[in-house]
């Protein structure tokens, strides 16, 4: 079987020490691609270099809502340079009502990057916490991106899933679904339309539970398989069929990116 990680932070220094071994183990497990999500300008440079060295790593560049106030507007010109790469996505961008960053500033930065993605015809990776209704209204107002968007590690309500499906969203599930006590994440995983579903690790964050015990230390890229197996159980699907569906979804969501990568390498 083949697996595809729709959200990871390979650039994080906590993964650096074991990166070579982790990468080899991932390949042995059948993990084919990773979307490596940027969060600040400093890690965009690292991601760019990693994407040139690591087969299967797809770069994404964005300013995360947690770090908005740490940066001047110079990032706006800088991100355009990175997005000139036809193989790059926009992300991780978003809205977060649980951090002490002025709301209007979050909205302004989010909309700048959302509209940039539409102008550059890029898929988008979205972070959202406790702001799904506000996000939905902004998308309806600004417009739906032609290349789609992914709500990573979705934590909204069951009812909001249907609303985002109508806007063309994809949804990814993370290690949250492996928690014995996270009933909401499990119910949402069951509710996601099968053709709109992806999986992720969010490594080195979002530690999964393995055999009922929470993973100690940092989350590792290899734990994508744990997320997959739990999803197969929740969906009551044969693993081979689910793997094929997730591969199809990943390639559909990233069709323009993957086509650009192939033509560039050719």
pLDDT digit string, tens, across residues 19-66: 999 999 999 999 999 999 999 999 999 999 999 999 999 999 999 999
pLDDT digit string, tens, across residues 117-167: 999 999 999 999 999 999 999 999 999 999 999 999 999 999 999 999 999
Phi, psi of 173 (to 5 degrees): -110, 145
CATH number of the domain where residue 142 is located: 3.20.20.140
Name the CA dihedral angle for 87, 66, 43, 124, rounded to a multiple of 10 degrees.
Answer: 0
- For residues 112-142, one letter each, b for 16 or more C-beta atoms within 10 angstroms of the residue's C-beta and e for the rest, the string is bbbebbbebebbbbbbbeebbebbbebbeee
Task: Report the predicted TM-score, pTM, of the whole model to 2 decimal places.
Answer: 0.96
Count of domains in the chain?
A: 1
Can you tell me the distance from the alpha carbon of 61 to that of 40, in angstroms, rounded to the nearest whole number? 8
Q: What is the mean pLDDT of residues 225-237?
A: 98
Judged against a pLDDT cut of 90, whether residue 263 lies above it is answered with no
User: Which pLDDT score is estimated for 265?
Assistant: 53
Work out the burial of residue 184: count CB atoms within 10 Å of its CB; fewer than 13 is exposed, 13-18 middle, 19 or more buried. middle
Judged against a pLDDT cut of 70, whether residue 264 lies above it is answered with no
CA distances to 85, 157, 218, 246, 253 from 88, in Å: 6, 30, 26, 20, 13
Can you tell me the distance from the alpha carbon of 228 to that of 251, in angstroms, rounded to the nearest whole number? 17
Give the structural domain span for 213: 3-265
């Amino acid at each position: 079987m083949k697996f595809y990680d729709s959200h990871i932070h390979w650039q994080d220094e906590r993964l650096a020490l074991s990166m070579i071994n982790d990468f080899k183990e991932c390949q042995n497990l059948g993990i084919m691609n990773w979307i490596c999500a940027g969060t600040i300008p400093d890690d965009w440079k690292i991601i760019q270099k990693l994407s040139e060295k690591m087969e299967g790593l797809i770069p994404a560049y964005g300013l995360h809502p947690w770090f908005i106030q740490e940066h001047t507007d110079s990032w706006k010109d800088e991100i355009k340079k990175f997005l000139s790469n036809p193989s790059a996505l926009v992300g991780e961008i978003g809205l977060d009502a649980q951090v002490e960053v002025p709301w209007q500033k979050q909205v302004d930065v989010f909309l700048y990057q959302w509209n940039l993605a539409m102008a550059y015809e890029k898929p988008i990776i979205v972070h959202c916490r406790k702001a799904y209704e506000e996000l939905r209204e902004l998308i309806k107002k600004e417009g739906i991106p032609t290349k789609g968007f992914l709500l990573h590690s979705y934590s909204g309500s069951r009812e909001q899933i249907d609303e985002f499906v109508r806007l063309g969203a994809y949804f990814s599930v993370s290690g949250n679904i492996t928690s014995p006590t996270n009933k909401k994440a499990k119910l949402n995983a069951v509710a996601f339309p099968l053709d709109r579903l992806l999986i992720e690790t969010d490594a080195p964050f979002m530690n999964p539970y393995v055999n009922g015990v929470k993973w100690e230390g940092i989350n590792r890229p290899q734990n994508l398989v744990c997320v997959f197996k739990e999803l197969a159980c929740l969906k009551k699907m044969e693993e081979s069929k689910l793997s094929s569906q997730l591969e199809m979804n990943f390639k559909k969501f990233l069709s323009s990116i993957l086509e650009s990568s192939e033509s560039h390498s050719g």
